[in-house]
Amino acid sequence: MIVSLERSGGFTGQRLTSSIETDELSGPEMAKALQALEALVSAPPATQAALRSQPRYRLTIHRPSGQHMVELAESEVPAVMRPLLTELTRRARPVT
């Protein structure tokens, strides 16, 4: 499956996007990160209003059966998902 990222917000307001085929990811840390993402998209939390000016991450899982999305403020990102976000951010490019 494909996981895509759109990052925005914070001081810069800069919008970045990237995507990755999960087959390219390996290792137990990545497996846990993907599991955490699957759990979040199945029950997305509502971002508190006070957090919305923070950098935000919109993560989407793309499957043939459809897309599932979750949006997280920076302070809401679970530690277990950081490896996935770091890789997606490393690949991200500004939206021009």
Residues forming contacts to other proteins in the complex (CB under 8 A) are 8-15, 46, 48-55, 73-75, 77, 79, 82, 86, 94-96
Pick the closer one to other proteins by CB: 21 or 75: 75
How buried is residue 19: exposed, middle or buried, by Cβ count under 10 Å (0-12/13-18/19+)? middle
Pick the closer one to other proteins by CB: 1 or 8: 8
For residue 55, the minimal CB distance to other proteins (Å) is: 5
Neighbours of 56 (CB within 10 A): 19
Q: Helix, strand, coil proportions of the chain in percent (round to 5)?
A: 40, 30, 30
User: By the 8 A CB rule, do 70 and 37 touch?
Assistant: yes
Pick the closer one to other proteins by CB: 13 or 28: 13
For residue 50, the minimal CB distance to other proteins (Å) is: 4
